[in-house]
Amino acid sequence: MCLRLMKYQLEVSYLPGKQMFIADMLSRAFLKGPVKNDTENNFIVHNIDKKIPMSANKISEIVGETNNDTTLALVKKFIVQGWPKNNKSLSPELKNLFQIRSELSIENDLILFGDRVVITKNLRILMLSKLHEGHLGINKCRARARESIFWPNISNDINNFILNCEVCLKFRNNNPKLPLLQHNIPERPWQEIAMDICEFQGNFFLVVIDYFSRWIELKDIKNKDSVEVVKALKNIFSVHGFPETIISDNNPFNSFYFKNFLNEINISLKTSIQEAMV
């Protein structure tokens, strides 16, 4: 339509719907008989611009596979004869195509989504390998697909295909090694301690270490509940005294019961998240 209107110099002005009498009349009194073919349509070029070349043999192969595919054969029928009013009775893949039915068309016996060829299931692995030629990354493969081919959930299929490529896995960049975070050494023993809960052969242990002397205290506990942790800490503190600061992760040391215990004896708590932010 845009190509056909290019030869005119149009002036567009707004007209309220209630005043569009001619358009309303024409929409109700449309021609019911056969319409004469407009010769201008012969000069309108339908073109698919794609980075993956498709030879005549490949197009013929896609057409044949499309006609043999039960789902896409139904799509062709729906495009020509009309889609169902709702998608409740449709298969999952047809439901996906139902959502974009207004953008589907048939050209040269191919199903198009916009200007992209809809690919049948039997050819999708082949097309994924074509997109991934040269072992391009996920974003570049998706960009190539957006200019040429389409099927429901194609982005996820591209992602999974590349993540499982043996060559890409073998030569991918290793994650950079992060340096160890340095911790300031306290001025005296038992000033600052760290603690965590470990599990060994079904048993739980509270591990406490002094940052100054590296002294380790190990207490077995029944479970990872904060009540059990406080009970074990009271036993440790009765020997070494109260520290100024405790560093731990969040669970269960960030619980209300544990924090209330520390507030009563004036001990500050730093969680691992707070340490990382510092």
pLDDT above 70: percentage of residues in the chain: 89
For the chain, where do the domains classified as CATH 3.30.420.10 start and end?
192-277
For the chain, where do the domains classified as CATH 1.10.340.70 start and end?
49-171
**Residues 140, 52 contacting (CB under 8 angstroms):** no
**Residues 222, 204 contacting (CB under 8 angstroms):** yes
Rounded to the nearest integer, the mean pLDDT of the chain is 85
Helix intervals (H) in 210-265: 226-240, 256-264
For 199-234, what is each residue's pLDDT tens digit? 988 899 999 999 999 999 999 999 989 999 999 999
Question: From CA 264, how far away is CA 261, in angstroms rounded?
Answer: 5
CATH class assigned to 49-171: mainly alpha
**Residues 76, 111 contacting (CB under 8 angstroms):** yes
Confidence of residue 41 (pLDDT cuts 50, 70, 90): low
Element containing residue 166 per DSSP (H, E):
helix 166-171
pLDDT of residue 170: 84
Q: Name the residue with higher pLDDT: 274 or 243.
A: 243
Confidence of residue 48 (pLDDT cuts 50, 70, 90): very low
pLDDT of residue 44: 55
For 11-38, what is each residue's pLDDT tens digit? 888 888 888 777 767 777 767 777 666 6
pLDDT of residue 37: 65
Res. 50: pLDDT tops 50: no
Contacts of 230 (CB under 8 A, 6+ apart): 257, 258, 261
- 165-182 average pLDDT score: 79
To the nearest 10 degrees (0 to 180), the angle between helices 92-99 and 70-81 is 40
Contacts of 235 (CB under 8 A, 6+ apart): 219
CA distances from 78 to 84, 98, 103 (A): 8, 10, 13
Q: Name the residue with higher pLDDT: 256 or 38.
A: 256
**Residues 231, 243 contacting (CB under 8 angstroms):** no
- Whether the link from the prior residue into 189 is cis, omega within 30° of 0, is no
CATH classification of 192-277, choosing from 3.20.20.220, 3.30.420.40, 3.30.420.10, 3.40.50.800? 3.30.420.10
pLDDT of residue 276: 46
pLDDT of residue 49: 45
Q: Name the residue with higher pLDDT: 9 or 32.
A: 9
pLDDT of residue 123: 92
Res. 83: pLDDT tops 60: yes
Confidence of residue 151 (pLDDT cuts 50, 70, 90): very high
pLDDT of residue 211: 92
Strand 245-248 versus strand 192-200 pairing type: parallel
Which of 9-23, 120-134, 251-265 is the least confident region?
Answer: 9-23
Question: From CA 92, how far away is CA 276, in angstroms rounded?
Answer: 45
Res. 160: pLDDT tops 80: yes
pLDDT of residue 51: 42
pLDDT of residue 220: 92
104, 96, 60, 52: which is closest to 79 by C-alpha?
A: 104
